Every structure is written in C-alpha cells, then in structure tokens.
Amino acid sequence: MRFYKRPLFAIGISLFPVLAVIIITTVIYGKFVHTALKEETDTYMEELTEQSARLIYERVKSDQTYLEGLAASIGELNLPLSEPRTLNILSQWIDITRFKWMAVADTNGTLYVPEYPETPDISREPYFQSAIHGESSVMWLPEIDGKSEKLVISVPINGSGKLNGVLLGRYSMENLSELFTIGAFDGKGYNYVMKSDGSIIFRALTDSMASEYKTLTEIAENASSTLTADDIEAMLRNMESGAGGSITYARDGQERIMKYIPVGINDWNLALVIPSDVIDAKAQAIIKSTSFYSGVILLSFSFVALLIFYLKHQSHRALQRAYQNIRSIYRTVPSSVVQFRNDRDYSILDANDAFYHFLAYSPQEFDKRIGGFLLPIIHPQDREFLAVLPDGLSAHEFRVLDANGQMKWVYGNFDCSDASQTVLCAFFDISEQKKLLINAEQEALIDPLTGVNNRLAVEKKLPELLHATESAGALLIFDLDKFKQINDTLGHPEGDLVLRKFARCLTEIFGSDSFVARLGGDEFIVYSSDIVLPEMAAQKARRLIDKMVKQMEMAEKKCGLAVSIGIAFYPSDADSLPELVKQADQALYRAKHSGGKRYMFYSEIQ
C-alpha cells in the first residue's frame, strides 16, 4: 500500500509548482496577448488609414483630371463661356461624372451655371483666385443652412494662348464615404478629415456624440484630462509638417485610439478612431480561450506525469496532441497566412485554411495542381519584388490567381528572415478598391459623347503605341466639312448624333485593333499599324467617304456634310508623335482647301 501511495503523493506534490507555473504563465501570456493585439491593431489601423487616404487622393485627382480634360476641350471651342453650347457641354458631363454641379466663370468672376438664370460674382472666392492664376485647386466648402460639406475643384480654361476663365466641379463630401473604413473593427471605428489647423471638415461616423465636434480642441474638451493642450499642439505640428501620428485619450470613461496621416491634398489629414474595448474584447476572448487550453494542458500534464511514472512510452503521443492544439489556433486565424522558403520557386512550408479558401483550393488540390510552390499563383508581372524582399517587415500590393483563373489584388505584409531563409506573409483582398481605381482611370480617357478615346488618351496612350510597334503605320486626321451648318440649322443634338455616327464609321472601317480618338469638336484621329502602304490608306479613306455619303440623312446632305482626310506615315514621314500629327494636319488643311470631301497624303504636298 505504501508502495503505491508514495509515488502518487510525489505526483500530487509535483503538480503544485506546475499549477503555479501555468497560472503565472497564463497571466503573463494575457498581458502579452493584450500588448501584441494593441501593436497588431495599431499596424492594421495604419494600413487601413493609408489605404483610405490613398483612395481619397486617387479619387479626387481622377476627378481633377476629368475637369482638366473638359477645360481643354472647352478652350479649343474658343466660344464665350456664357454661350448655350458651352453650358450644354457641362450639362452632358454632369450626367456621366460624379459631379452634382458644374459651372464656368469668366475672368471677371461672373459665374454661369447650366439651367440657372442668375450669374453671381465669385471673384473673391479662393478657388476662383487659384484657378484664375493658372493653378488647379481642390477646396472644401463648409456646411451651410444644414446642407452637407462640399468639395469643389477648379481648373483654368485656356484657349488661343490665353486664360479664358475657370471651370468648376462640385459634389458633396459624402460622395467619399464609400472610401472610408467605418465598417472596420466590428463597426465601431469612425473617421475624421481634418485640416492642419485642427478643424474637422468631414465625418464618417458610427458614434453619434462624436458627430458634434467641429475641431480637435472640442474633442479635447470632452476627453477628461487625457488629451491636453500640449497633445493638441503636438498633433497640429505633425499635421503642418506632413507627418502622421497617433494618440490615445479617454471619453465617457472609455479609452480611444486615434491614428492620423496626411491625405496628400492641401493640408488635409485622415484620422481613424476606435475605442480600445475592441482590443480588450479580443484580448479577453483569447485569454478565455487560453485559460481553457491551460486547463486542458494541466490535465494533459497530469496525465503525462502519470505516464512518466507508469507508462513513459506514451509521452510522445501526448506531446503530439498538444502540438496539434497549437496548430489549430494558427489555422483558425481569419487572414490568409503562408510561410515559404526564400528559394527559386518559393516552396510553401505551411499555410492556414484561410489561404487555401481564398484561392478556392483544398490543400490536396493545391499540392496536386501547383506542387506546393508559391510562385505559380503570383501574377508574372508581380514576381520581381519577391526576389528583393528586405530583411524584416515590408508590405506590397500584388496579384494572385485562384483555382478558377480569376485574378485578385491583395495587400500583403511580409516578415523576411535572411538567417533562416524563410518568409511569413499575411494578406487580405483589395480587389474591389483596385477595381474602383482602374475604372476611374479608364473613364478619364474616354470621350463621353462618342465612346472613343479622347485627347488625353492621345497624349498618354498613342506615344506608347508608336514606340511599342516596331513596324510602320499610318496616322489619319479627319475633319467634317460644313459641320457647323449642321449645328446652326439642325441644332446641337443633331450635331452630336452626327459625331457619334462618324465615330462608329471609323471603328467599323479601321477595326477595333486601330487607335480611334476624338481630338475635340468635329476633329478625329486614327492610327493603324495595319496600314503601311499609300494604296491601303487610300482604300480605307475612299470607303469612309462613301460610307458617310450612304449613311447621311437628306438634311445632312443639304448642309453639304462631308469628310476631309489628311494622311502621314510613321516613320517614313516622321518618327515622333508631335511631328506626325503636324504633317497629317498639314495634309488635312490642303484637302479641305482643295474643295473638301477628299483625302490628301503629306507626301503629295511636298
């Protein structure tokens, strides 16, 4: 009897220090978890704030590019800004852009708004003053009479080598709400847009009380003594110098964390605020889970202790079960996590279930189809950065291909260890944000009336097309003869219909592989690398002239509508875009002054 009691008594005594160690370890681990979660949340807040600030900047700059392209088109018309034709153009653009209000102002500051009879004087407004001095601007208008804050973009209108006036576009700041992160952190996060003087110019809120604050000082006044005047002064200095930062303060007995960074527009800063109970709730959940596992570990250890005394050969299986428990915690992390070796094909060492789920694979399918390597799922154009990952932490945007062949944009954080030649990566999906940005960039290059490329696309895309093609090509410039009579006798709607009809003719005759664009007014341009001989260009030109005659209505024929064409070849006539356009334009000029309704080669006028 004593023989059995003594080892059992020894086991019981040995369990007390083990239990104490587990309790102390659990407490220390709880503090570690809270600290780690706070650091992780701080990093995530910074990433979300940077992402939203970048999207706001790109959205506003895209809208500014819209206006600058429209201002260039209006300037080329060389018409008084008060003309109905000018205001009609604005009405059409309002329907296809995010702007809720567009207007023009002459150099004296007289404002002309479509379908608005009054002409107020805005000469003293700062956005007018900026544009009238030749600088585009983005400014904020405060809330007036209960109406929401407005964002106004102003750009100069230049024509015939001089400043003709100012083009204005305006919409509610609420149009930017979709780019904010108020849905993050269990829906408790909210955003401010602030100026460097501490004034709040926009709020995207889930906190009703926070919506009352107009300045950082008002926030400080409601933040007990945790947010002092010195803190506010330090924040203002950071914002004035273009540096971001973070600060913690208490309100209504609850701690809050504010992360702020510059947007890149004027002196605007974007701030993300979350209550600290978001971190506390996650930490408590992990600690409770840890306590549960601690109990399991304690029981497991007791069992292992008994096995050490009685069945030592069973210890390996118990340790294996403990290892699997730790692995299950890792695999239930919601972000896609993958660890890979920094070798030629980036062999995958481990990945959680979220990684395979995001790529629409099962682990077995991934190994069978991909072979356990990371490189094949990375888009070929995004693989270079993997070879130059710096030691330590870094972040990159890149594209991956899932099991269905679908391309997805992701934002990844990388922890590279040169010592072990391994990399740990956690990433999340940003495809929707990228889609919004790409669509905005593409829309800025399309002529809204005809659907073909616009002048901005000619400046950006056509030089790349010339340099990309090693073979020759032809540039054709088109001008509609007697088009002004269409507008004067049949009206501008009929003129717009003619322009759309002509654009379709160009696309049908020259094909979708050719570059078709509207330069402005009734002037179009086509570049085709399939046309390398004068006979080929002449055939296309005759087809176009004949097709226009067949498709013209009787009223259009009575106005004498026809098309004149100037043709120059690359690189035999010119090896640069400006010179090629100039020579084709000279040929067009000669064709029009030779009676019109004909084509002319640049080589014929030498």
The token pair at 312 is 């030592």
Residues 265 and 56: beta-carbon distance below 8 Å:
yes
Which conformational region is residue 83 in: left (phi greater than 0), alpha (psi within -120 to 50 degrees), or beta? Answer: beta
For 200, residues 6+ apart whose C-beta sits below 8 A from its C-beta are 192, 193, 194, 213, 214, 215, 216
Q: Is the pLDDT of residue 5 over 50?
A: no
Quote the pLDDT of residue 503. Answer: 92
List, edge to edge, every strand of the sheet that includes 599-601: 515-520, 523-528, 473-481, 562-570, 599-601
Mean pLDDT of 291-308: 61
Quote the pLDDT of residue 1. Answer: 41
Residues 249 and 256: beta-carbon distance below 8 Å:
yes
CA-wise closest residue to 291 among 16, 37, 15, 27: 27
Site of tokens 């356009």: 581
Q: Could you report the per-residue pLDDT of 173-221, keeping only the tens digit for each? A: 777 777 776 556 667 777 888 888 888 887 776 666 666 778 888 887 7
The token pair at 297 is 């570990």
Q: How far apart are CA 271 and CA 601, in angstroms?
A: 60
Residues 548 and 562: beta-carbon distance below 8 Å:
yes
Quote the pLDDT of residue 4. Answer: 42
Mean pLDDT of 545-562: 80
Q: Could you report the per-residue pLDDT of 70-115, keeping only the tens digit for each? A: 888 888 888 888 888 888 888 888 877 888 889 999 999 999 998 8
What are the φ/ψ torsions at residue 107 (nearest 5 degrees)? Answer: -65, -15
Site of tokens 């000279």: 586
- Alpha helix ranges (H) inside 348-491: 353-358, 363-369, 384-387, 431-443, 455-468, 483-485
Is the C-alpha dihedral spanning 305, 310, 316, 320 positive or negative?
negative
Q: Could you report the per-residue pLDDT of 574-603, keeping only the tens digit for each? A: 888 899 999 999 999 999 998 888 999 998
Residues 296 and 288: beta-carbon distance below 8 Å:
no
- Give the mean pLDDT of the chain: 81
Q: How far apart are CA 229 and CA 245, in angstroms?
A: 16
Q: Could you report the per-residue pLDDT of 144-154, keeping only the tens digit for each? A: 655 677 889 99
Residues 200 and 194: beta-carbon distance below 8 Å:
yes
Residues 581 and 477: beta-carbon distance below 8 Å:
yes
Quote the pLDDT of residue 396. Answer: 86
CA-wise closest residue to 563 among 501, 493, 489: 501
Per-range mean pLDDT, top range of 285-289, 299-303, 478-482: 478-482
The token pair at 200 is 């709040």
CA 90 to chain centre: 26
Cα torsion through 75, 80, 85, 91, rounded to 10: 70
pTM above 0.85, yes or no: no
